[in-house]
Amino acid sequence: MGRGAYLEPDRWFGHAFGQALRAALEADAPRLPAASGRPDVVSGPTGRAPAVVLLHLYYPDLIEEFADRLAALDGLADIAITFPDTWTPDELARLAAAFPRARLAPTPNVGRDIAPFIAALGWARQAGYPLFCKLHSKRSPHLAQGDAWREALLSPLLGAPAAAVAQLQANADVGLLAAGATRTRLGTHGVMHNNAGGWPCSPAGWASPMATTRSFRRGRCSGAGRRRSGP
């Protein structure tokens, strides 16, 4: 293979060549129709929960893991799942069986989990949820400790969900509760260079849409239950 057509990660472009190849292959891949999911959550006898989990589940082999993790949220948070529209019908059937009451929306994997999150958040606002928990099936296969990184992100968020919901309900100025281990200075190399404050380096956490907007304007967020002032 010529030196000008390599796919290996490098220090300058990272995994960009491999990601471009994947995008090119997925462009012509078979896609699930939008109507193939489940358009709304199946509410329990008490109606909608006070919060909703917005999960982007990219890896089908993590379906059962997330089903086990989120089972403890029954009654506290409903579940809405976006997943790549390039999944197979069999993978969708597994997802529907593992999450019989969740909203299921096949969504193009644009911007990794960001575009699916924006679409899911728009639905959640229209549905009237005052709180949400944004999660994604972080695996980072290019990292040796990718699964450990997912555990570090999820355990603090799902370890005491009732406390997270209570804190957001009681403190209008708290816009985001994220795992403290994810807080990264925005001046850190490879993150951002226009701000010296701290901010979660992974888009996962409990949040209130309205309070999040106010907190961004004030430069506040909360990590691991502690509020810190930003710039």
d(CA 87, CA 194): 38
pLDDT at 141: 60
Q: Which two tokens stand for residue 91?
A: 């993978």
Kindly state whether residues 167 and 133 are assigned to the same domain: no
pLDDT band at 201 (very low <50, low <70, confident <90, very high): low
d(CA 137, CA 147): 10
Q: What is the mean pLDDT of residues 172-201?
A: 60
| DSSP strands (E only) in 13-168 | 51-56, 77-84, 103-107, 131-136
pLDDT at 138: 73
d(CA 118, CA 24): 23
Q: Specify if 151 maps to a domain.
A: no
pLDDT band at 227 (very low <50, low <70, confident <90, very high): very low
Place of tokens 């296969």: 141
What is the full DSSP assignment across 162-229?
HHHHHHHHH-TT--EEE-GGGEEETTSTTT-SS--SEEESSS-EEE-HHHHHHHHHHTEEEETTEEEE
Strands 220-223 and 198-200: unpaired
Q: What rounded mean pLDDT belongs to the chain?
A: 78
Has residue 108 got a pLDDT over 50? yes
Cβ atoms 81, 67 nearer than 8 A:
no
Beta-bridge partner residues of 186: none
pLDDT at 209: 67
Question: Which of 129, 146, 16 has the alpha carbon at shortest distance from 79?
Answer: 129
Kindly state whether residues 71 and 113 are assigned to the same domain: yes
State pTM to two decimals.
0.77
Q: Tally the domains of the chain.
A: 2
Q: Specify if 41 maps to a domain.
A: yes
Domain that holds residue 187: 161-225
Encode pLDDT of 1-56 as tens digits: 455 566 666 667 666 677 677 666 667 778 888 789 999 999 877 789 999 999 99
Kindly state whether residues 121 and 166 are assigned to the same domain: no
Q: What's the CATH number where 73 sits? A: 3.40.50
Between 212 and 134, residue with greater pLDDT: 134
Q: What is the mean pLDDT of residues 80-85?
A: 95
pLDDT band at 190 (very low <50, low <70, confident <90, very high): low
Q: Specify if 29 maps to a domain.
A: yes
Number of C-alpha atoms within 13 angstroms, CB side, residue 101? 18
Distance set, CA 100 to CA 63, 107, 189 (Å):
12, 19, 43
Q: Specify if 210 maps to a domain.
A: yes
pLDDT at 41: 93
Place of tokens 């229209």: 126
Q: Specify if 190 maps to a domain.
A: yes
d(CA 218, CA 200): 16
Kindly state whether residues 83 and 121 are assigned to the same domain: yes
Q: Specify if 215 maps to a domain.
A: yes
pLDDT at 103: 96
Between 192 and 20, residue with greater pLDDT: 20
Q: Specify if 182 maps to a domain.
A: yes
